[in-house]
Structure formats: structure tokens, C-alpha cells
Structure 1
Amino acid sequence: MSDLGDTTDDERFFLHGGRRWQKTDPSLPDDVRIRLMSHLGRGRSGVRNSAKGDDGGALPRARRTVQLAKEGLGERGTPWWEQSADERAARWTRALKELDALRPGRPGRSEGATDGH
């Protein structure tokens, strides 16, 4: 992983709806990015679906999933260009571990987990 401290604002942010948003960390390995995007999609779907009839716990879980996925992607939290390679890897590893724990028994879960089969 390279040092990303010299990236430009064009590489760090994008504009949407008149707001500036952090871009995804470009140093994410493809498999990690795919897993985080999958969690993000499920989280967003959960937010949308639970707004129609929340059981009391679905909406907070879905929002937590979105937050963790965005943090893992580097789109929220400490800017990825201010983190070392080790800090960036720890960020996405921590996010995936927590996201996988929110979905026990699912593919892509933390190593060593079992689904009881």
C-alpha cells in the first residue's frame, strides 16, 4: 500500500447535491471493497424496508450496518489520506469483523465462525 497523503481534493472528494463527500479509499483490496459494498447495500435496503414497518430493532441495526460499511470504505471517520497503510487496513478489518458479527451464519463472516452445520 502506498502513502496517500499527497492525494488531491479531486481524488479525495466528490460533490453531490451541493455537498462534498469523501470518496472510497482507493487502497482497498478488491475483495474487501466488494464485501463492504455488499454490506452497505444490505444496510441501505434495511433502512428503506424498516422505514415501512420497523420492528423496533431493524432500523437501528440497518443504520449501524450503513455506518460501519461507510467507515470501512473510508467514506466516514478519519480521512483515509491521513492514515498510514496499517491504520487503513485496521479500519476495514475492524469494520468487516463487526459487520460479519451483525450477520451470523452468513457467507463472508469472520474466520473461525461456524454456522452450526
Structure 2
Amino acid sequence: MSTQRYPDTPDGRYFVVRGRLWRKSNAALPEKDRAALVKQLMDARRALRGSPAQAQSDAAHAAVDQAKTALGERGPVWWTDGAPDYNRKMVKNTPYADWFAGLTATAD
């Protein structure tokens, strides 16, 4: 494997974890907005750890989803070239397969 633990695809849209693509945040987000959204996301995740009541848990899950959608990691894609979304797909079943195979071949 590459020396990078979670390699980014060449187009910067995804990173790979255990052979699966995960959509990255929108690279065009201003840093101030990104920082605020990441803070919201982390606050919501912390709320999930300490929320035994179902209503609190539901609200925390909704807050996580809202932050991830605002970051561009969920919902409509943030790129504008019409390329499909391969979020959560196995990289071997996508157009990134040859690129990823090349990473693993160079590590051997």
C-alpha cells in the first residue's frame, strides 16, 4: 500500500479506507466555514456518546447528518463536472480501480 495511510484519489474527491471510497469535504469551502462545520460535527458526535434518551440520540444523529451534508461529505456532490458519486463504493468496482491497484503494486 501507499505510504499514505488513507490515500486520496487523484481528483481529490475521495480517500480510501480498507478498499472503500469515502467522499471528502468540499475543497472550495472557505476555511472559516469548514472549521465551524467541523466543530458542529464533533459536538454532535460527542452528544451521541452521552445521550441515552432516544430523542437526544435522534437529535444528535440529525446534527451529524446536517454537518456532514454541509461539508459536502453527504448529499449532493460538490463537484460540477457531472461525474457520478462513488461514495462508500469498493474502489475495485469504480473507475479508480487501476489507480488503486497501482498504489498496492508499488508497495510490494
TM-score by length of 2: 0.61
Q: CA separation in 1, counterparts of 2:65 and 2:18?
A: 20
CA RMSD of aligned residues (A): 1.8
Q: CA separation in 1, counterparts of 2:31 and 2:79?
A: 18
1:82 alignment partner in structure 2: 80
Q: Alignment length, in residue pairs?
A: 73
Query: Structure 1 unaligned runs (5+)?
Result: 1-7, 84-117
2:40 alignment partner in structure 1: 39
Code of the residue aligned with 2:42 in structure 1: it is G
Q: Which has the higher contact order (CA 8 A, sep 6+)?
A: 2
Q: Which runs of 4+ in 1 moved over 3 A?
A: none
1:12 alignment partner in structure 2: 13
Query: Structure 2 unaligned runs (5+)?
Result: 1-7, 82-108
Larger radius of gyration: 2
Code of the residue aligned with 1:68 in structure 2: it is Q
Code of the residue aligned with 2:58 in structure 1: it is P
Aligned ranges for residues 58-73 of structure 1 at < 5 Å? Answer: 58-73=56-71
TM-score by length of 1: 0.57
The structure that is helix-richer by fraction is 1
State the 1:17 CA deviation.
Answer: 3.3
